[in-house]
Amino acid sequence: MPVAPLTDQKVQFLFEKAYAIRQSIIEMLIEAKSGHTAGPLDMADIFTYLYFHALKHDPKNHNWEYRDRVILSNGHICPVLYATLAHAGYIPVKELLTLRKFGSRLQGHPHREYLPMLENSSGPLGAGLSQAVGMALAERIDFGKTSGKQFVCLTGDGELDEGANWEAFMLAGKEKIQNLTVFIDRNNIQIDGLTEEIMPLNPLADKLRAFNWHVQEIDGHNFRAIDQAWGQAMAVFDKPSVIIANTISSKGIPAFERKFEWHGKPPTTEEEIKTAKFALGINN
């Protein structure tokens, strides 16, 4: 199914939806007093584009056979997944405030037994891409190359330190899985510092091309750039696609942006909470 043209009105809609999702992420983290800030905020635009423009899915029928599959590998950024699902109609928005609370469906890492609309459980880094490759290969075995489903895997750049990812990249390239698209959150940080200081990834694009992937590098906050990259990925029929999304960690809160310290902590002090709420226009 072709994706509809991205009109000016739709770009504005996506911008406003991503803003609302970022607000929800911060409200969740403040209430939970636990969780990750940087990745969820910087991936809000990618998730918004996918769920509100590109993907085939149905919030009223999450088991719809012909839905596209979204596999989140870096499960610690799940606040953006939960917030997006809520704003898309899968779960109540008010449930977001139960993040990480005892008995909540919204665990600190996604758990499919609690949320059956998820395609996978995730937490251990490096596993999601292998899961996505396996799902796509199983789909090919069952239905051939023309089933029409897209498999979308979202990963972090720091996560690529895990060697299992590169085995999955190698297998997907060898098998020419044309209906698999990977978004890499290239925010250049991980929990201990900058990716290029801890375990350099560059030249990342060249490495992925060498594994027989169609590679694009984009501004991960520009909806038109995301849309163009998605369109190109859908037009490739002889190899899997990877979109390296250059993002600003903690996007939307200038005082937090590009600081690796926000990878794995929420706003907790009075000043941090005030700063986050002010930046995102949260009035309560």
- Strand 214-219 versus strand 69-72 pairing type: unpaired
* pLDDT number for residue 260: 97
Tokens of 34: 């636990």
Average pLDDT over residues 36-43: 98
* pLDDT number for residue 1: 57
Q: How far apart are CA 170 and CA 72, in angstroms?
A: 19
Helix 270-280 / helix 8-32 crossing angle, nearest 10 deg: 170
Q: How far apart are CA 236 and CA 255, in angstroms?
A: 40
Q: Model confidence over 171-197: pLDDT tens digits?
A: 999 999 999 999 999 999 999 999 999
* pLDDT number for residue 242: 98
Average pLDDT over residues 84-93: 98
Specify the CATH superfamily of domain 8-280.
Answer: Thiamin diphosphate (ThDP)-binding fold, Pyr/PP domains (3.40.50.970)
Q: How far apart are CA 170 and CA 153, in angstroms?
A: 15
Spans of all domains in the chain:
8-280
Q: In 3D, which of 181, 62, 66, 88 has the Cα closest to residue 132? A: 181
For the question of whether the overall pTM of this predicted structure is more than 0.95, the answer is yes
